[in-house]
């Protein structure tokens, strides 16, 4: 595995901002994203929107100074457990770094933060045809899946 470092993004740091926009756009271009890049107006609004959302939490994976992976998360609240939870909204690794443990590193950092915050679980959605991601999620303990026929996605959770 390359020497990858995972950090919690500082949404005010210009380098982190550029990495976030780059990685979200790269994910959107991927067949498991939308298959096309973000429209210019979305790229232009992305950082302001993330900064204004009060529960945004983003982890970035870097190989030296090169951004190679991202976990975009939001802290929510479980009324059934009366505890916070973390929803992993986007998890993406650039193609050249896939199958090298970067996704696992990002998930481990999110889980560590969830435990630090006293969260009851982590949640995420994954496309039904994204079998590689589904295998990763199963290996790190996500389960209890519910399938959404309309969006063709699995909703998975990992109790903490």
Give the pLDDT confidence score for residue 150 in this predicted structure.
Answer: 77
pTM of the model: 0.94
Q: Is the pLDDT of residue 48 over 70?
A: yes
For residue range 76-93, list pLDDT tens digits in order: 999 999 999 999 999 999
User: Which structure tokens are listed for 89?
Assistant: 């909204």
Give the pLDDT confidence score for residue 4 in this predicted structure.
Answer: 96
For residue range 38-47, list pLDDT tens digits in order: 999 999 999 9
- Stronger pLDDT, 153 or 76, i.e. the higher one: 76
Give the pLDDT confidence score for residue 110 in this predicted structure.
Answer: 98
Q: Report the alpha-carbon distance of residue 109 to residue 66 in Å, rounded.
A: 19
Tell me the pLDDT band of 1, cut-offs 50, 70 and 90: low
Q: Report the alpha-carbon distance of residue 23 to residue 35 in Å, rounded.
A: 14
Give the chain's mean pLDDT: 95
Say if CB 64 and CB 55 are below 8 A apart: no
17-26, 88-97, 134-143, 151-160: which has the minimum mean pLDDT?
Answer: 151-160
Domains of the chain (ranges plus CATH)? 4-121 (3.40.630.30)
């Amino acid at each position: 595995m390359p020497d990858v470092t995972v950090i919690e993004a500082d949404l005010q740091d210009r380098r982190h901002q550029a990495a976030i926009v780059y990685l979200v756009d790269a994910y959107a271009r991927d067949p498991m994203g939308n298959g096309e890049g973000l429209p210019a107006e979305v790229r232009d609004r992305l950082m302001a929107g993330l900064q204004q959302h009060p529960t945004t939490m983003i982890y970035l994976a870097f190989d030296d100074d090169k951004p190679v992976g991202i976990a975009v998360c939001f802290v929510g609240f479980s009324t059934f457990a009366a505890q916070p939870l973390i929803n992993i909204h986007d998890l993406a690794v650039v193609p050249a770094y896939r199958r090298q443990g970067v996704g696992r590193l990002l998930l481990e950092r999110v889980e560590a933060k969830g435990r630090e915050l006293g969260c009851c679980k982590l949640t995420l959605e994954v496309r039904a045809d994204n079998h590689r991601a589904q295998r990763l999620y199963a290996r790190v303990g996500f389960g209890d899946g519910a399938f959404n026929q309309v969006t063709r996605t699995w909703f998975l959770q990992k109790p903490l």
